[in-house]
Every structure is written in structure tokens, then in C-alpha cells.
Amino acid sequence: MLSVKASVAVEYIEDAIKARLVPMVHGSPGVGKSSLVHQIAESFNLVLIDLRLSQCDPTDLNGLPRVLDTNKATYTPMDTFPLSTDKLPAGKDGWLLFLDEFNSAPPAVQKAAYKLTLDRMVGTKHLHKNVAIVCAGNLETDGALVSPLSTANQSRLVHMELHVDHKDWLEWAQSNDIDYRITAYINFRPSCLQKFDPDHSDRTFACPRTWEFTSRLISLWDGEIPSSKINLLAGTLSEGVAREFVNFSKVFLDLPTVSSIASNPSVAHLPEEPSTLYAMSAVLADNITQDTVTPFLEYVDRMPKEFQIITIREMSRRYPEIETSPRFVNKVAEIATYL
């Protein structure tokens, strides 16, 4: 199975949903499988139903037995599943049923899912026609307690393997308020976005999920990351990556201030070291407004061409409104051949 980056996986999953097929996203822990499905539910205007198959019992998928007045028995589906007789949720176009941890479920539960994924039925009841289904699970090589899918399940699903692409992730991060120090660091050290090794000795590892955790943590502290918090970040990212990131973040303390650049862009200090230029790009992108676009872009003109491109891209992602500025449009046209 060929692996795909997140932007391609989104396209493939959307194609499968439109064809009324069930995609199965395979990927290592923390690479963003769940975030990707949340994104798709939002783009299709669907209510997300997050069902962890590893925590289910076969009756959760088949329904509970119930005796009828006719002295026969039937199955009553759980209210988890929207049925053909249900009304659409207010303001939504349907539901996305996310069967997460699919290959971590016991074999009996995986078998119970046969009917759900292929026939779109829960027991004897049909799912609503506006229900999309997406499955996801970790890789067998990840040490994440998964089981090989049976051939019956294999042929019921459309399979793809998700891998981490730092450019894809940076585009997402810059549009989702991930701390600019993190995006600058990943721009500088792309290999540290995903440091998963199933045989690692640390208690955790750097991955898209734990970088998002890190962003939430460092947003609590103004200015420099306190030295007393390094162990906390080590418990989030692993010790090696945490210490390197904290040291990198100290670069920001020596950068020219935003006000000095805005007031004197032609003479404000311009760093020369690549690591510091990555940091400078992030600071400019994080502080760009309609009022600062002209002086900031004058300052950007002084940067090496590759860092001009990085800065322009970050500005556009973090502050899309800037694309209406004539000065910004002219700058993009100037570097278009490099983009």
C-alpha cells in the first residue's frame, strides 16, 4: 500500500464518500488521522459520530435483542446510529460515522462490522442514506495493539496509509493558531515533526498530536519558556526534541522588535543565521496586519530569496486577509517564478 500525505488523503477520502464507499486510513499514532476526519466532517457539513471500535461489544453494532408481542425476537439498534427513519440534524446535511481504532477491535467486533461497512445496516435496520462512514487504525508495525484485518474486512474497505508531510502540516498549523515558535522550528528541523519509533525508550515522542499539545502548553507562558517547564515539555515531546526546541525558541529573544521593524524597516537589524531567519519569518507572519504590511514587506525585501518565499507563505496562511493588499499582491507577483 502506497502512503499519502494528508492533503491527498483528504481528496481520496472525499472521493470514497461520494462513491458511497468506506475508506480505511492506516497510520502511526499521532499523525493526525482523527484531525483529518474532523476536517472532512466539517467540509461536508456533517455531524461527526466518533465510535472507538476497540471499546465496543458486538451487540453495540448488531443491536440489543428484544422480544416482540408476536413471541418473536428482534434487535434494537443503539442510538449511536442514524437510521433511515431519523430526521436530519438541524443545520447539517447528515452524519459522518467515524469507526476509529478499527483494527484494534476484538475479532468478534470486527466481524460484527461486516454488515455495517458493506450493507450499511445495524442488525435489521438500514442506516440513513446521508451517513458517510470512515474507518481508521494504527499500523501493525507500530506496537499499538492492532490485529491484521480479515480478508472479508479488507475487501469491504478502500485502504490508504497516511504519512506525515511537514509542508502539509505547516499549512494546517499556520491556519490553526499553532504557536509561531513551533512552526519556525519545524520549518528549520522538518525531521522533528514526526519522530516515531516503535522501539523508542522515551515515554512519548514528537508527532503532530504532541506538537499541538506543546502549542497549548507554551501559550500559557509569556516570553521565554521557563527552565522549570523543560521536563513538562520532555514528557510531551521526548527529552531530546524538547531541549532542542527550547534552545531554538531562545533565538526569538534576540530578534529585532516588531515595532522597530514597523518604524524603520530599511535599517532594522536583519539576522544572517538560517535558524534565526526562520524565527524572524515566523515573528513577521504572526504580527502581520493591514497596518504593518508595507513596512514588513520592505523588511522582507532585504531577506535572502528563499526566506522571502517562506515568510510570504506564512503571512498568507496566518492572515489570509493580507492577500487583498496591493503591496502584498505585488510582492507575490515578484517572487511568483520562485513559488
For residue 144, the model assigns a pLDDT of 62
- What whole-number distance in Å separates Cα of residue 39 and Cα of residue 47? 11
Distances (CA, A) of 262 to 141, 203, 298: 51, 44, 9
Average pLDDT, the chain: 91
**What is the pLDDT, as a whole number, of residue 2?**
75
Q: What is the pLDDT of residue 129?
A: 96
238 backbone φψ class: left, alpha, beta (φ>0; ψ -120 to 50): left
The CA dihedral of 86, 90, 18, 98, to the nearest 10 degrees, is -80
Amino acid 73: pLDDT: 85
What pLDDT is stored for residue 1 in this prediction? 65
- The H-assigned helical ranges of 156-207 are 166-175, 180-188
Q: In order of start, what are the domains of the chain with their CATH numbers?
A: 3-162 (3.40.50.300), 166-334 (no CATH)
- Residue 218's H or E segment, with its range, is helix 208-218
Contact 38, 209 (CB under 8 A): no
Give the pLDDT confidence score for residue 223 in this predicted structure.
79
State the burial class of residue 96 (Cβ atoms within 10 Å of its Cβ: 0-12, 13-18, 19+): buried
Reported pTM: 0.80
**Whether 256 contacts 276, CB under 8 Å:** no
Residue ranges for the chain with pLDDT beneath 70: 1, 143-144, 338-339
CA distance linking residue 312 with residue 31, whole number of Å: 26
Angle between helices 305-318 and 293-300 (to 10 degrees): 150
Predicted pLDDT at 143:
67
- Neighbour count for residue 51 (Cβ, 10 Å): 20
| 204-260 pLDDT per residue, tens | 999 999 999 999 999 999 878 999 999 999 999 999 999 999 999 999 888 999 999
Distances (CA, A) of 121 to 24, 41, 143: 18, 21, 32
User: Collapsing DSSP states into helix, strand and coil, what is residue 126?
Assistant: strand
pLDDT tens-digit series, residues 92-112: 999 999 999 999 999 999 999
325: which 3 cell numbers?
493588499
- Cell numbers linked to 234: 520532555
